[in-house]
Chain A
Amino acid sequence: MGLVDRLRGLLRGGVKADAVPGVVDVPEAPDDLASGAVPSRAVTSSAHSGAFDVGWMTDTGLVRDHNEDSLLVFSGQQDGDRPVPAFGIFMLADGMGGHRDGEAASSLALRVCAGQVISQVYLPTLNGGDRAANQPALADIVRDAVAHANRCVAQSYPGSGSTLTYGMLLGTRLFIGHVGDSRAYLLREGDSPKLLTQDHSFVGRLVEMGQLTLAEAAVHPQRNVLYRAIGQPEDLEVDVATCLLRSGDRLLFCSDGLWNMVDEASIWAIVDQGGSPQEICGRLVGAANDAGGYDNVTVILVDLHLE
C-alpha cells in the first residue's frame, strides 16, 4: 500500500476503534478523504522469519595449540502485534598473553561487555516505558561497556590483553564498539564492502601509509604491537561508530586470523558463493586453514532482513 493511501486511510476520522492512550477521536470529521475501502492498519508482511540470521565459527587453526579467540552472539527478536525492535550482539575478542591468560582475557572481556550492554539496552527495551534523558546514550553505553571490560581484564589478568570488536543492533541501527585489530565489515548490495573498523595496529598503519611493504611488516619488530587493546592499565579510548542498516545488508566480524591469512577479494568471493551464514562461516575458516592456519580464526556473519 502506498504511503498516500495509507495516510488517507489513517487520517479518516474515527478510524481507530480501540482506545489508545492519548488519542482523541474527532467524531465530527467527515469521511471526505476516502476514495475506497482502506484498511485502517497496514499489514506489512504476512510472514516474519526474524530480522537477522547469524552464523559463527571459531577455530584454533593448524599451528597453535590453543584458541585465544572468543566470540559471543546474542539474538533478541520478538514477533507479534507490537514487537520491540530487534536486538543483537555480535562480538569477538582475540586474546593475548602468557600461559592461558589470552583466552581468559578474551572470554572475560566478552562476557563483561555483553552483560553490560544487555542490561543497559535490551532489558530496558523489553521493559518498555519512555526512553529518558537519565539513561545513557547508546553510543556511551557501547563505549562504556568496552571500558568496563578493560578494567575487569586489567584487574583479573594483569599483563594480558585482548582485542574486542562488536556490533550492537537495535532495530535498524548498528553500533560498533572496537579496540584492537579484529574487524567489522558492512557488505551492501551494489557497494564495495566497507570496513567499519580501523586496525589499532602500529605496523598496520605504516603499511596503510605505504611506509612499509607487507613483507617488511611481516618481520617488523613491532608487528605485534597494538596501540589500543583491552587490558591497558590506563583509560582506554574506544572507537564507536553507528550506521543505519538496510534489508539485505550483511555484517562480517572476524579476527586477524582470517584477514591476515585470506585476502579480502577471496573473502568476498567465498561470501558471494552463497549459502546460509553458518555455511559461509565454515568456508571462511576453511580458507584460513588452507592458507596455513597460522593463527586462531573467528568469524561471525549476519544476514539482515529488516522491514
Chain B
Amino acid sequence: MTEENHNSSRDTSASTVNLQRKRGLQPTRGLSQRLRQPSPTEQNAEEGDKPADSATVTLRDAWKPPVEQEPEGSRSSSPGGDDAFAGGSLGEPDEAAHREGLLPVGVQLQNRYKILGVIGIGGMGAVYKAQDLRFPGVMRLCAVKEMICTASDPEVRQIIVRNFEREASILATLSHPAIPQVYDYFTEGSRSYLVLEFIHGKDLEARVTEAEGFFSEAQVVDWAVQLCEVLTYLHNHKPRPIIFRDLKPSNIMLDDHGRIRLVDFGIAKLFQSGEKGTMIGTEGYSPPEQYRGIAEPRGDLYALGATMHHLLSKQDPRLEPPFSFKERPIHKTNPTVSREAVEVIDKALEYDINRRWGSAEELRRGLLSVTSARGLASGRGEATSVLTDDILKPIWRFACEDEIRGSVTVTGDLVLVPSYDHNVYALDIDEGKFVWKYPSEGGVVASPCVADGMAVFGSTDRVVYSVDLNTGQLVWTASTKGRIFSSAYAHLGHFFVGSDDGNLYAIHSLTGRKAWTYASEGEIRSRPLIQDTLVLFSCQVGLVYALTLDRELRWRFRARRGILASPVTHEGLVYIGSLDWNLYALDSRSGWSAWKYRTGGAVVSTAAIADDLVFFGSADGHIYALDVADGRLVWRYQTGGQVTGSATIYNGALYIGSVDGALYSLDAQSGSLRWRYQTDGAITGAAQAVDGVVYFGSSDHYVYAIPA
C-alpha cells in the first residue's frame, strides 16, 4: 500500500510485480525491450537503463530469487486439509521444492508460523499458506507474504526494510471488512514477512477464467459497488488518501460469503525503486497517467472500470493492445450488457482523468442507478424492450395449400410466393389479397426472380417458367433435365438458373431460349450471382465455380461437403456457407479462401452483409455476425432450432427465420433481440422487408406481413 506522498516521485514501473499463480491462470504477456545500439542522443538520456542481455523480459525472468538451498530434512509432506487457497490451489510439493528460494513446507518462521504450502509466486517473493502455532489445537491459518531484498548495499537494504515496516504499519491501522487484517510483520535476514488473514475463496481472475458463460451484469455491478465502498474508505484515509494502484481481478478475492476482499496491497512497489528500466509486463488495468508518474484516487476508478470491462466482456486486457477499451466495446462480445452499465464503465475508463467519475462514491452512485443494480438478487432477464408475439400482430397473412419453403419476392405492389402446393401466388402487398397464381406441375421452392415485367422461377417439374407480372399469364418456358430448386438471377437481359441436371443455364429473357449451358459436377440448388463479369454459383458436391461470361473457368473452390447456400459478394470477397459447417470468404479473383469461420453445424443459410458485418445462420441453432474483413465473431444469438433461413437486413435490423418456427429480428450491431414472431412451422426462406413491413413464408403454409 502506498500513501500518496510516496507516489509523488515518478513511478517508472509499468506494473507492480504481481503474484503469479503456480498453475498458470495468469496470462502474463512478455514484453520485448528493444535494445538499440546506443546513439548519441539516447546515451545522454540514459541513466538507469541498464542493458539486459535478453530482449524479452518476462515476469519470472525479471527477478530471480537468490538460490537458497534449505536443508533437506526440513521438507515435510504436503499439508492435509482441503482448504481453498487464496489465489488458486496449492501446487504439488515436489513442484514447489524445485523452485529456487522458496520456503519448503514445514519450515517455521519466528517459531510461530509453519509453512503449509505456496499460494502464489511473485517477482519479489512468494505468498505462503501458514499455520499459526500460537493457537494449539486449532488450525488457525494465515497468509504469509514474503519480500526478498536483493540489494547488496546495506544502506539500501535498510531503507527498503524500513519502508516495508512503515507500509505494514499503515496497513495494520486499516479497518474495513473488505481489507484483510494484518497480524504481524518481521524480517529474517534478506527476507521480510507480513502475516495476514487467510481468506478462503477464489480471486476474480480465476472466476472469470473458469466461468463458462458471462457473469450477469447485476453480479458484476454488485462486486463493483462493494469495491467502490472499499475504495471510498481508502481514498478518504487520514491524514492522506491511500491509493490502491493495482486493482485488477487477481487482486480481488471473493470469499465464501460472496463478499469482495482486496488482497495484495502494493507493498512490492517499494522494492522496485532501484529497478528502473526493467520492463516487467503491461498491466492492462492501469490508467494511462500512471506512466507519467501520476498516482491519484481516480486512477483506481480507471482500474475498476478496466476490471469490470474484463469481467463483463471476458476479454483479458493484458492480451489486447494497451488502452484499447474504447475500440473493444463490451457489447461486441456480450450484447446482454445494458447501455446504462456501459456508460458508467466508459466514464470510469476515460483516458483524461478529469472526465472520469470524480470519486469512488460518485462511481458507486452511478452504478446503483443502473437498472440491473436495482434487483441485485434477481439477476437480469431479457432486454426490457422486447416485444413478444402477444404484442406483434400481423398486418395480414395468407394461407397456401402446402408449405412455403423458399423466399418470397416483393415487387411493386405484389408479393410473390413460391409454394410447395405447385403454385406461385401473387398477393396484394397491402392486404394480402389474392391477385393471381400460376400453377406448375411440381413444388416450387425457388424464389421468383423479377425482371422485364416477368416473374421467372423453376419448379420440381424440371421447367423454368416465365409469367407476366400483371396478368399471371405464361410468357415462355424452358425445360431442363432435372428438378429445379435454384432461384434465377437476372443480368443484362438474361436469366441465370441452375438445375438438378447439373447445368447452369443462361436464358434469354425475351424469348426463353438458352443462350448457353455450363455443366457442373453436381445439382445446382442455389442462386447464381454475377459480379464484375464473373458468374458465381455453387453445386451440391461442394464446388463453387467462377466463370467468365464466356464460360471460361476462372477458378473452382472445393468445400468439404455440399453447398446449398447462395453466394453473396462484398469488396472482392465471395461469402458462402457449406454443409461442412464453415462460412467461407473467398477471394473473387483467385478463389482462395481469405478466411473461414467454423460454426457448430451445417451452413445452409445465405448470408447478408451490412456495415462491415456478415450475417448468417447455422444448423447449430445460432445466428452469427462476423467481421467481413477477417471473419472475427462480433456476436451470435441462439435460437430454438436450426437456422437454415437466409438473412435479410433492413434499417439496421436483421431478420432471419429458424426451424423453431420463429422469425427473429435482432439489432444488427449488437445482436440483441428486437422481437421474435412465432409461426407454426419452420421458416427456411428469407424474409423481405419493404416500407416498414417484413414479408415471409412459413412451413405452416402461411405468408405473413408484420411490422418491421
Residues of A within 8 A of B (CB): 3-4, 6-8, 10-13, 15-16, 20-26, 28-30, 32-33, 40-41, 63-66, 68, 85, 96-98, 102, 121, 125, 130-135, 137-140, 158-161, 170-173, 175, 198, 200, 202-203, 205-206, 209-212, 216, 218-222, 224-229, 231-234, 237, 240-244, 292, 294-295
Closest A residue by C-beta to B51: A98
Q: Which residues of A contact B590 (CB under 8 A)?
A: 85, 125, 131, 170-171, 173
Residue among B32, B549, B551 with max Cβ neighbours from chain A (10 Å)? B32
Residue picked from A170, A211, A226, A229, most chain B C-beta under 10 Å: A211
Chain A residue, CB-CB nearest to B49: A221
Which 4 pairs from chain A and chain B are nearest by CB?
A: A171-B589, A224-B34, A159-B54, A229-B32
Complex Cα distance A22/B291, Å? 65
Contact status B533-A3, CB under 8 Å: yes
Closest chain B residue to A170 by CB distance? B590
- Taken together as a complex, chains A and B put the C-alpha atoms of A205 and B325 apart, in Å, by 13
Q: Are B32 and A96 in contact (CB under 8 A)?
A: yes
Chain B nearest Cβ from A205, distance in angstroms:
5
| Contact status A221-B578, CB under 8 Å | no
B531 → chain A, closest Cβ, in Å?
A: 12
List A contacts of B543 (CB < 8 A): 130
Whether A97 contacts B549 by the Cβ 8 Å rule is no
Across-interface contacts of A241 in B (CB, < 8 A): 629-630
Contacting A at CB under 8 A, from B195-251, are: none
Q: Quick check: B41 and A294 within 8 Å, CB to CB? A: yes
* Bound Cα distance A83, B589 (Å): 12
Asked if B183 is an interface residue, CB under 8 A from chain A, the answer is no
Decide yes or no whether B156 CB sits under 8 A from chain A.
no
Among B14, B45, B515, B578, the residue within 8 A (CB) of A222 is B14
- Chain A residue numbers with a CB within 8 Å of B592 are 121, 131, 135, 137-138, 170
B516 close to chain A: CB less than 8 A: yes
Q: What separation, in Å, do the CA atoms of A135 and B585 have in the docked complex?
A: 13
Given contacts A170-B590, A205-B323, contact A133 B596 (CB under 8 A): yes
CB-defined contacts of B506 to chain A, threshold 8 Å: 11
Report how far A296 CA is from B289 CA in the complex, Å: 32
A133 contacts B519, C-beta separation under 8 Å = no
Q: What residues of chain B lie closer than 8 Å to A234, measured between beta carbons? A: 29-30
Contacts of A3 in B (CB 8 A): 492, 533
Give every chain B residue within 8 A of A221 (Cβ-Cβ): 12, 48-49, 276-277
B41 to chain A, nearest CB (A): 7
Q: Give the Cβ gap from A43 to chain B, nearest Cβ, in Å.
A: 13
* C-alpha spacing A258/B594, complex, angstroms: 31
Q: Of all chain B residues, which has the CB nearest A218?
A: B45
Residues of B within 8 A of A21 (CB): 553
Residues on the B chain within 8 Å of A222, using CB? 12, 14, 279, 291
Which of B34, B289, B351, B550 is most buried by chain A, counting CB atoms within 10 A of its CB? B34
Point out the residues of chain A lying under 8 angstroms from B39, CB to CB: 63-64, 294-295
| Known contacts A64-B37, A130-B555, A211-B288; A173 and B587 CB within 8 A of each other | yes
B704 within 8 Å of A by Cβ?
no
The minimal Cβ–Cβ distance linking B324 to chain A, given in whole angstroms, is 8
Q: Which of A66, A131, A202, A240 contacts B591 (CB 8 A)?
A: A131
B412 within 8 A of A: no
B580 CB contacts on chain A under 8 angstroms: 133
Residue B172 at the A interface, CB < 8 A? no
| Contact status A205-B277, CB under 8 Å | no
- A65-B37, A133-B593, A221-B49 given as contacts; is B516 within 8 A of A29 (CB)? yes
- What is the size, in residues, of chain B's interface with A at 8 Å between Cβ atoms? 88
B residues in contact with A102, CB < 8 Å: 35
B261 within 8 A of A: no
- Chain B residues 466-525 with CB under 8 Å of chain A are 491-494, 503, 506, 508, 511, 513-520
Q: How far is the CA of A63 from the CA of B41 in the complex (A)?
A: 10
A3 to B494, CA, bound (A): 14
Say how far A188's CB is from chain B's closest CB, in angstroms: 15
Task: Answer whether residue B186 sits at the interface, using C-beta atoms and an 8 A cutoff.
Answer: no
Instruction: Tell me whether B516 and A209 are in contact (CB under 8 A).
Output: no
- Chain A residue numbers with a CB within 8 Å of B571 are 244
Check A22/B518 contact, CB under 8 A, given A121-B592, A172-B589: yes
Question: Which one of B439-447, B557-565, B602-610 is at the A interface?
Answer: B557-565
In the assembled complex, the Cα of A218 lies from the Cα of B693 at a distance in Å of: 59
Q: Given contacts A23-B516, A231-B56, list 19 more A-B pairs with CB under 8 A.
A: A10-B550, A22-B553, A29-B514, A63-B37, A63-B40, A137-B585, A137-B593, A161-B34, A170-B589, A173-B572, A211-B289, A212-B292, A222-B12, A222-B291, A225-B31, A226-B34, A227-B29, A242-B594, A294-B42
Query: Are A132 and B549 within 8 A (Cβ)?
Result: no
Given known A130-B556, A211-B291, A226-B32, contact A26–B516 (CB-CB < 8 A): yes
Q: Which of B292, B511, B587 contacts A32 (CB 8 A)?
A: B511
B582 at the interface (CB under 8 A from A): yes
> What are 10 A-B contacts defined by CB distance under 8 Å?
A16-B552, A96-B55, A170-B590, A172-B589, A205-B323, A221-B49, A225-B31, A225-B32, A225-B279, A227-B322
Residues of B within 8 A of A40 (CB): 550
In the bound complex, do residue A173 and residue B593 qualify as a contact, i.e. CB atoms below 8 Å apart?
Answer: no
Nearest chain B CB to A56 CB, angstrom units? 22
Contact of A133 with B578 in the complex, beta carbons under 8 Å: yes
Q: Does B108 reach chain A (CB closer than 8 Å)?
A: no
CB distance from A20 to the nearest CB of B (A): 6
Chain B 531-560, CB-CB to A under 8 Å as 1, else 0, gives: 001000000001100001111110111111
